[in-house]
Amino acid sequence: MPEKIRIDDLANPRLTDMQKAALAYGNEHRVDLTVDAVLGSAAAATGLDDFGPDDFHERLGLWLSEMDADDERTGLGRLGFFGECVRYASTRLRIRDLLARHPEILEIPIERPVIVVGLPRSGTTHLVNLLAADQRFRSMPLWESYEPVPDSRESVGPGGIDPRWQRCEDAWQAMQISMPLIAAMHPMNPDHVHEDLELMLPDFTSYNIEWISRSPRWRDHLLSHDQTEHYRSMKVGLQILQWFKPRERWVLKCPQHLEQLGPLMTVFPDATVVVTHRDPVSVVQSTVTMVTYGARMGYRSPRPEWYLEYWSDRIRRLLDSSVRDRHLLPAGRTVDVLFHEFMADDMGIVRNIYETAGLELTTEAKGQLDAYIATHPRGKDGQVVYDLRSDFDITPAEVRQAFDFYMDRFAVQVEVS
C-alpha cells in the first residue's frame, strides 16, 4: 500500500532548514525582470543573437511585468522565473540557428500522432507514459522538452550521459529538496514523458506559467489571442526532435489542448485524440493542493483561497471550451477515457486506443506496456490525502455546482463527496 501523505500546513507552512536557506539565497540575488535582461542573458549563454521576429516581446514582457508587479513574489520565485525565461529564449535561439543550417527539417512529416487531451490530474500523465513504453512511438521525455536542441559546444559526458539530461536531473533533485512532497503529486524526473506545451514556451505562450505564478493578466491575453501559429511552432519542435531521433508516430499530451481544439486539429488534422474525463472536484482539490504547496517557495503568503478561486474557474473554462468545441474532434479517431474505468482496466483502455489509432498491439509492445505497469504502480512515491473542507473551507458539493454542464454530458463517476 502506498504511504499516505497529509499536508496539514498549506496555509501556514512549516519550512525546513533547506527551504529557509533557499529562500534566503533568493533574497540575496535580485534579478531584473525585463525583456532586455532575459534576451541578453540568453545571447550570452548561447553565443547566438538571432531571435527572429520580435512579436514575442509583448508576450514575454507581459509575463515579466506581471510578476515584477507582484509584491508577494519571493526573491527565489523571481530568480527561478527569470532562469526559466532565459532557458526558453536560449532554446529559441538554438532552434533558429539549427533551422538556418538544416531547413530540410521543416519538411519532416508529423503523421497520425496520438494526442492525449484531458484535465490536469485526470490520468493524462500515466496514460501518455504508459503508451510511450511502446518503443514504436516517439515521445518526449522531460529533458528533451526542456532543451530540444543540444548545445553544439557540449559533448556527451561520462557514461554516455547527455548534459541536457544531467541538467534536468540536477533540477529535479533540487526541486525535491525545496519541495519534498512534489514527487507524490507531479514527478518531474528527466525520463518522465512531459507535456508538449514545452515546445510553445520558446514562443513565450501557453498556460504553463499559470501553474508557477499568479498571472490572471496573462490568462486573459492567452484566451483572447488565436494560438494556431504557436501550435505550428510546437510542430516545428516535434520535427526537430524527429530529425534527431526518428520514429514512425508520436504520442503526446497536454491539458491545455482542451481549450485549443481548433488550433490542435488545424495543425494535426490526422491525429487520434484521446480525451480523459474525471470528476472535476477531484481535479480541483488535487490541483489547488499542489499549487498551494508549491507557493510556499514562490510567494510570501501561500493564499490557498486565491488558488481555490482561480483554479476552480480555470478548470471550468477548460471544460467549457472542450464541450463547446467537441464537434471539431474526428468522430472516428476520438477515444473518451473515463478515469474510473482507466484505473480499473488500463490495458483495456489501451487496446481501445490502439484499435482506434489503427495500431497493432503486438506481443512485443504488450510486453513493454506490462513492464511499465509493473514498475510504476500508482502511488509509488506516496499518496497525498486531499481535504477541501479542512484545507480550503469549502465542501465538494459547493465546488461541483459549477460543473453540472460537464457532469450531465459525460458519465464521470463522483469521487469526492
Tens digit of each residue's pLDDT (9 = 90 or more) over 77-100: 999 999 999 999 999 999 999 999
Supply the pLDDT for residue 353.
98
Q: How far from chain centre, in Å, is Cα 213?
A: 14
From 187-196, 301-310, 351-360, 362-371, the region with the lowest mean pLDDT: 187-196
Supply the pLDDT for residue 381.
75
Listed in sequence order, the residues at least 6 apart from 312 whose beta carbon sits closer than 8 Å to its beta carbon are 284, 288, 399, 402
pLDDT digits (tens, 9 = 90+) for 106-126: 999 999 999 999 999 888 999
DSSP 8-58: --SSS----HHHHHHHHHHHHS----SHHHHHHHHHHHHS------TTHHH
Contact 254, 117 (CB under 8 A): yes
Q: Is the pLDDT of residue 260 over 80?
A: yes
Q: Which grid cell is 142?
A: 522531460
Closest alpha carbon to 117 in 274, 270, 250: 274
Percent of all residues in the chain with a pLDDT value above 70, rounded to a whole number: 99
Q: What pTM value is reported for the model?
A: 0.96
Q: What is the average pLDDT value for the chain, to the nearest integer?
A: 95
What are the two backbone dihedrals, phi and then psi, of residue 5, each rounded to the nearest 5 degrees? Answer: -120, 120
pLDDT digits (tens, 9 = 90+) for 181-232: 988 888 899 999 989 999 999 999 999 999 999 999 999 999 999 999 999 9
Q: Could you give the angle at which helices 346-357 and 124-132 cross, rounded to 10 degrees?
A: 70
pLDDT digits (tens, 9 = 90+) for 299-340: 999 999 999 999 999 999 999 999 999 999 999 999 999 999
Query: Once rounded to an integer, what is the mean pLDDT over residues 43-58?
Result: 97
Supply the pLDDT for residue 1.
59
Rounded Cα distance, 314 and 337, in Å: 21
Ordered domains of the chain (ranges, CATH): 4-407 (3.40.50.300)
Rounded Cα distance, 257 and 242, in Å: 21
Strand, coil or helix: 322: helix
Rounded Cα distance, 293 and 301, in Å: 11
Q: Is the pLDDT of residue 158 over 90?
A: no
Supply the pLDDT for residue 184.
85
Strand, coil or helix: 141: strand
